[in-house]
A and B are shown apart, each in its own frame.
Chain A
Amino acid sequence: QVQLVESGGGVVQPGMSLRLSCAPSGYTFSSYGMHWVRQAPGKGLEWVAAIWFDGSKRDHADSVKGRFTISRDNSKNTLYLQMNSLRAEDAAVYYCVRDPGTQFFYFDYWGQGTLVTVSS
């Protein structure tokens, strides 16, 4: 069955960096687009970034553009989110999600999430 397992979350100070990883299993990773979605404590869902199945295109939310970078290594079956210059407002649970690859963007499988805390 499809599983997405995130790792790399933790407590960091403002201005520091963190790299999240996501290890999918149960399907052919290189055939699907992937995204990161986050949820601040007690708040709603916010899309963060997307990457096409082959890594040829990527896009980021304005709130993280220039600070976060989504990437993937299809040879290692791994999705990444490099987060630099972290701010207090970046504190959230970060979910790795799969896009089934239809004409629309949506998410059929979600990881369990990894918590990022930004605090001095």
Chain B
Amino acid sequence: DIQMTQSPSFVSASVGDRVTITCRASQGLSSSLVWYQQKPGKAPKLLIYATSSLQSGVPSRFSGGGSGTEFTLTISSLQPEDFATYYCQQGNSLPVTFGGGTKVEMK
């Protein structure tokens, strides 16, 4: 199974900050990296697929990048509605595996 490791586990940030979350895979991925946002009590929401493709309706302040085993999610200017937990996921092969999550909290 492909192991996914996210860092950091927690981010304390302010509105307007640039936030970057990293996801590392235990083996190389073929651009199959996905990012989700989850707010308390809600289902996860797809943000980015295929490493850098923005899902329809997702604001352009979100961007994804990387290749091989290291990937990033960047929020260019944090907005109040962005305080949430973010998960990466590899879709290269079954079993699908998720990172442990990064909680973005208000400083």
Contact = CB atoms under 8 A, between A and B. Distances in A.
Interface residues of B, number: 25
Contacts, number: 64
B96 A35 contact: yes
A104 interface: yes
B98 A46 contact: yes
A52 B44 CA distance: 22
Interface in B23-56: 30-32, 34, 36, 43-46, 49-50, 55
Interface in B71-103: 87, 89, 91-101
- Looking at chain A's contact residues, is the secondary structure mostly helix, strand, loop, or mixed? loop
A108 B101 CA distance: 18
A104 B46 CA distance: 14
Contacts of A95: 43-44
A45 B91 contact: no
Contacts of B87: 44-45
Interface stretch (A8-16, A75-83, A84-92, A109-117): A109-117
A110 B91 contact: no
A104 B44 contact: no
A105 B65 CA distance: 18
B71 to A, nearest CB: 13
A105 B43 contact: no
Given A104-B50, A106-B49, A106-B91, A112 B98 contact: no
Contacts of A50: 94, 96
Contacts of A73: none
Contacts of B89: 45, 106
**4 smallest A-B Cβ distances: which pairs?**
A104-B91, A105-B91, A104-B32, A110-B43
28 contacts: A35-B96, A44-B98, A44-B99, A44-B101, A45-B36, A45-B44, A45-B89, A45-B98, A47-B96, A47-B98, A59-B95, A62-B95, A95-B43, A95-B44, A102-B49, A103-B32, A104-B32, A104-B50, A105-B91, A105-B94, A106-B89, A107-B36, A108-B46, A108-B49, A108-B55, A109-B46, A110-B44, A110-B45
